[in-house]
Amino acid sequence: MSAILELKNLSFVYGAGTPFEKKAVDDVSLSIEQGELIGIIGHTGSGKSTLVQMLNGLMKPSQGQVLLGGKNIWENPKKIRDIRFRVGMVFQYPEYQLFEETVYKDIAFGAANKGLTGDELDHAVRRAAEFTGLRPDMLEKSPFDLSGGEKRRAAIAGVIAMNPEVLILDEPTAGLDPMGRELLLSQIIHYHKEKGNTVLLVSHSMEDIARVADRVLVMNRSHLFMLDRTREVFAHGDELEKIGLRVPQVTKIMQALREQGIDLPDSVLTVDEAFDTLSSLLQREGKIW
Amino acid sequence: MVRDVAFGQYFPGSSLLHKLDPRTKLIGFIALIALIFCTFNYPALAIIVGVTAFLLLSGGIPFKFYLKSLKVILIVVLITSLLNLFYGSGEPIWQWWILKLTWNGIHRAIFVTVRIVCLILLSSCLTFTTSPTELTDAIERLMKPLNTIHFPVHEIAMMMSLALRFVPTLLEETDKIMQAQKARGADLDSGNFIRRARALVPILIPLFVSAFRRAYDIATAMECRCYRGGTGRTRMKTLRMSGRDAACFVALALIIGGVVLCDIFLKAAI
Ligand SMILES: Nc1ncnc2c1ncn2[C@@H]1O[C@H](COP(=O)(O)OP(=O)(O)OP(=O)(O)O)[C@@H](O)[C@H]1O
Ligand SMILES: [Mg+2]
């Protein structure tokens, strides 16, 4: 494995030189391997969105560098558009960016900008729709006639169709119902598995992050607070709570049981995992068969 | 970014100017701006310049923001003062082809430049130190007498404050949509005029859609709070004049008196 994204002393200041000056990202350095699924968490206003928008050149860092595949993305500012096809970015509430007459055309917008035409374009659009679970008959509808969740899917498909090497999703499940969240999340996992691409997922739901992420990046007041394997990060429940975050509920329950002296691992991330550990424990003690 | 516009921006603060009643400020600044155009000799002009300088200093806003708003009209100032320079009447002191420099022209150019600069500085000073809400409040109160001739003062003030309220929101929204379309490879700043105009479609459509959505939302929200127009409404913040405001009106009267006296008793320079 090799680092696909490397951030070196990255900082971003909003409104530099005005009374509203605000350092939203402060001296962040890290590196992300090809094929990883990184979860990004942090309380509101901690700089998550600002950080990820610098990764595809939508915002130019005030200081520091972003290296994509070892090359500084701002090396040639004229070529910054190419970076945007390589690092796909799905914004918070992406449904507001839909504008075409049909869902099909809207999904094709990015891929066509990239230069795809004909069969290649058609294939990319249909694949992307499939990944996000849009039925083929929806492609001919107007995007404004879709439900909120379907709009979200269409917007995400529009970025996936560009086939980016790195996919960044900023709170893709915000405002969806539990079923919709679940579905979207499993589609993201499926996409990640099948393509083997690098995915960065910003989310406020610790349960979601715990389920999907290989590693978790924690932001706190513009600083990088922690970047480690998911299990390790959620083993630091106390520290996370100090900066206004929590661990998944099931992790918390299991930690409480452990404090009672029950022999359990120190970081259990999902309900399924908790079920397995508990039932094998009970079996060992002969309480169930 | 679209949002980095200095002209007409409010800077919160606690200076004397910030604390004044917005009605006082509105009347005062309008009177001063009218007075700028009633100056016909140098002592009168000096009074205006002095007052402007005093106001800028007491507002406590960093000077570079005033420079920024002046930059916008630099070209206008240059052109008008050049025109005035060569179109004065009287004895030419220097002549070349149709260009004829006269003392009168020089005086005119100086007056025009100083007047425009003071005008911009004063209006920037007003908007820098008064929030849009305060301003519309002041306008509504001052125009209240027009109610008697069935002029819908309250409705117009409400429309103004809603519009002002949504300017930053829409700018922010434009910014967001632009970023999102750029992320999908939209090319906004290259190509000829037609290509650029076409490139705006992916930005304008979502923007209109969201503007309408917001308009409906705000209408519903107002109805839910039983809004039914201006009659019988009381205000959460009533405007109150204080001693400060009285002092300002006295000062304003003195300034106007000074300028008028200069105009009457001294020879006009232009
Ligand atoms: N356009 C802007 N102009 C000025 N300040 C901004 C702007 N956008 C964000 N900020 C400030 O920068 C800081 C970081 O914002 P950012 O959007 O990156 O936070 P976030 O972690 O994504 O929060 P959330 O979880 O609410 O989305 C915040 O304090 C915010 O107030
Ligand atoms: Mg955010």
CB B121 within 8 A of CB B70: yes
The confidence score (pLDDT) of residue B23 equals 92
Q: Is it the case that residue A17 has pLDDT exceeding 80?
A: no
User: Which residue of B62, B177, B185 is in closest CB contact with A97?
Assistant: B177
The confidence score (pLDDT) of residue A6 equals 92
Phi, psi of A102 (to 5 degrees): -125, 160
Same domain, A289 and A160: no
The confidence score (pLDDT) of residue B257 equals 93
Same domain, A234 and A253: no
Same domain, A278 and A223: no
B185·A113 Cβ contact <8 A: yes
The confidence score (pLDDT) of residue B6 equals 42
Residue-wise pLDDT tens digits, A171-224: 998 888 888 888 889 999 999 998 899 999 999 989 889 989 999 999 999 999
Same domain, A256 and A192: no
B181·A97 Cβ contact <8 A: yes
CA distances to A54, A60, A106, B8, B179 from A96, in Å: 21, 24, 12, 28, 12
The confidence score (pLDDT) of residue B60 equals 87
Same domain, A286 and A164: no
The confidence score (pLDDT) of residue B8 equals 56
Does ligand 1 come within 6 angstroms of the Cβ of A244?
no
CA–CA–CA angle A160, A162, A168 (5° rounding)? 50
Q: How many CA atoms lie within 13 A of B188 on its CB side?
A: 16
Sign of CA dihedral B53, B58, B59, B65: positive
CA distances to A163, A166, A186, B176 from A93, in Å: 21, 19, 19, 10
Q: Which residue has the tokens 């004397």?
A: B16
A15·B4 Cβ contact <8 A: yes
User: What's the complex ipTM?
Assistant: 0.84
Does ligand 1 come within 6 angstroms of the Cβ of A44?
yes
Write the single-letter amino acid at A3: A
Q: Is it the case that residue A51 has pLDDT exceeding 90?
A: yes
Q: Is it the case that residue A121 has pLDDT exceeding 60?
A: yes
* Closest Cα to atom 12 of ligand 1: A24
In chain B, which residues have their Cβ closer than 8 Å to the Cβ of A113?
184-187
Same domain, A199 and A274: no
Q: Which domain holds residue A287?
A: 248-289
Q: Which of A40, A48, A221 is the best mutation target for the ligand 1 pocket, counting ligand atoms within 8 Å of the beta carbon and taking the most? A: A48
Same domain, A135 and A276: no
Chunk chain B into consecutive blocks of 10 residues (it has 270) and report each block's average pLDDT, rounded to whole numbers.
Answer: 54 88 92 91 92 92 87 88 82 76 87 92 91 86 86 85 83 90 85 82 91 91 85 78 90 93 83
Task: CATH number of the domain at A100, please.
Answer: 3.40.50.300
Give B186→chain A minimum CA distance, Å. 7
Does ligand 1 come within 6 angstroms of the Cβ of A203?
no
* Ligand 2 centroid to residue A112 C-alpha, Å: 28
Same domain, A198 and A279: no
The confidence score (pLDDT) of residue B241 equals 84
Same domain, A75 and A151: yes
Give A205→chain B minimum CA distance, Å. 23
- Give alpha helix (H) positions in chain A: 48-55, 80-86, 103-114, 118-131, 148-160, 178-195, 206-212, 230-235, 237-242, 249-259, 271-284
The confidence score (pLDDT) of residue A1 equals 52
Angle between the A271-284 and A249-259 helix axes, to the nearest 10 degrees?
30
Same domain, A213 and A266: no
Same domain, A265 and A172: no
Helix (H, G, I), strand (E, B) or coil at A34: coil
Atom of ligand 1 nearest to the CA of A43: 25
Same domain, A201 and A279: no
Residue-wise pLDDT tens digits, A229-252: 998 898 888 888 899 888 888 888
Cα distance between residue A249 and residue A207, in whole Å: 8
- A64 compared with A268, residue with greater pLDDT: A64
Count of structural domains, chain A: 2
CA dihedral B32, B36, B39, B43 (to 10 degrees): 70
User: Which residue of A58, A98, A158 is in closest CB contact with B182?
Assistant: A58
